[in-house]
């Protein structure tokens, strides 16, 4: 999947599924217009959020912050 085609105005919408076997992109949700991502870390104590930032920063080779959705599965990432 070409992730850059889903970045709009410097933002990327994702749907995170914590406690998975490994961190990986699994597809695209056409209804919510968001990339589906399995996250290897649990949602406990912000571990999943830190893994999201680490994974997408490495993948995009850019700085990434979570703009919204810190406590939700649907998140908006800001690519800086």
pLDDT range class, residue 22, cuts 50, 70, 90: very high
Cα–Cα distances in angstroms (integers) from residue 24 to residues 9, 31, 57, in the given order: 23, 20, 13
CB 43 within 8 A of CB 51: no
pLDDT range class, residue 79, cuts 50, 70, 90: very high
- Mean residue pLDDT of the chain comes to 96
Domain total of the chain = 1
Report pLDDT digits (tens) over 23-44: 999 999 999 999 999 999 999 9
72 pLDDT more than 90: yes
Strands 34-38, 11-17: parallel, antiparallel or unpaired by DSSP? parallel
Q: What is the CATH number of the domain that holds 30?
A: 3.30.1200.10
3-state helix, strand, coil in the chain (%, to 5): 25, 40, 35
Residue 2: its pLDDT value, please? 85
Q: Which residues form the domain of 22? A: 3-79
């Amino acid at each position: 999947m070409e992730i850059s085609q889903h970045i709009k105005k410097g933002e990327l919408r994702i749907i995170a599924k914590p406690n998975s076997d490994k961190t990986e992109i699994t597809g695209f949700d056409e209804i919510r217009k968001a990339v589906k991502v399995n996250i290897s870390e649990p949602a406990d104590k912000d571990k999943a959020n830190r893994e999201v930032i680490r994974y997408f920063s490495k993948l995009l080779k850019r700085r990434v912050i979570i703009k919204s959705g810190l406590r939700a599965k649907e998140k908006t990432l800001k690519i800086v």
